[in-house]
Structure 1
Amino acid sequence: MWVAGVDEAGRGPLIGSVVAAAVILDPARPIEGLNDSKKLTEKKREKLFLEIQEKALAWSIAEASHTEIDEINILQASLLAMTRAVAGLKIQPELVLVDGNKVPQGITVPCEAVVGGDALHPEISAASILAKVYRDHQMLELDAKYPQFGFAKHKGYPTKAHYEALALHGVLDEHRRSYSPVRKALEAK
């Protein structure tokens, strides 16, 4: 039975898209060291990112933009990105396991929500790693474009450094305007 694991990255940051990944692993080509992406070092995630893409039967990465997040809220945007990731798989799964407590409405095959699934199911762990590394790469691109914000360090999360950069340099096009700290920074200008 083809089982796809699905997870997202980037719900908490103040900037950028939310990224989701879907992965169907190949039982004949096991991948050592899969775990919740937050429990792995950046170096280990980067290595697994490439190995998952090489060994998985199918994988897909999708996103919902910062403007979609502002329009429909972060939960709905996360579910939309997950639906897009599953739709992007080149193999139709027979079951989809989603990390969390909500199932995206747009997935047309049987789907189960698994709280803490990224530590329980290797398919979800693999999806967690793809989504996290892909989003981190987006933050590195933003860091190159706007070095004064320090995105390489905080990855867009609401840290003291990010708040200070917002106050000093203002809101970027890529910021999520529906998020309170960004709204406050806009009002302060």
Structure 2
Amino acid sequence: MQMSLSPNKLEILEALLLHDKPVKPMQVSKEMGKEFPSVMMHILGLTKMGYATPAEKGYYIITKEGKKFLGIPEVSRDVARTLLVGKLHEQAFHFYLDIGKPLDIKAYNLQTFNSQLKRVQLESVDFHMKRGDFEAWFRGIGDIELAKKTAVLKRLTLDGENLRKKLQIITVNRCIALAKIAGYTVVTK
């Protein structure tokens, strides 16, 4: 039987999802604009429920159970490979500046998405984030976890270069996680 969470606990669990590495509760508190004692109390509650776990002294991370609670399925090796390097031509992401203003920049998988994200105009990133296009595309190609992270990111109401950087971080981290699942060698700088 799945437990229910208060809106605050759910919001904090989603904030932990954005971090692919252990994070200090104080950082979560700052990012969310919530009081530290409240955030810490909810993280401890999530830990007791098995949805978060202490990774090292003072740091916490979401667990597989926490991801499962958020509706995020585990990804198979084949799906991970398709998301990373598959040629998803029929499902390509087409970047626009605005409605009716295509940029002739496309992404066919998560790796090409990440490289295109670096070069596309900031107005395009803002346009697609506000509309929920990134989230919809990630969900459409089968990456529920990245779709969920993007939805959480959207609620932070970032824009411009701050939005692009945060989206790049979650996309790169997701590519690294998928590469490990796919059995690829991962080299990080």
| Bucket of the pairwise TM-score, normalised by the shorter protein | under 0.3
Name the structure where helix makes up a greater proportion of residues: 2
> What is the TM-score when the length of structure 1 is the normalising length?
0.26
> What is the TM-score when the length of structure 2 is the normalising length?
0.26
Name the structure where strand makes up a greater proportion of residues: 1
Bigger relative CO (Cα 8 Å, ≥ 6 apart):
1
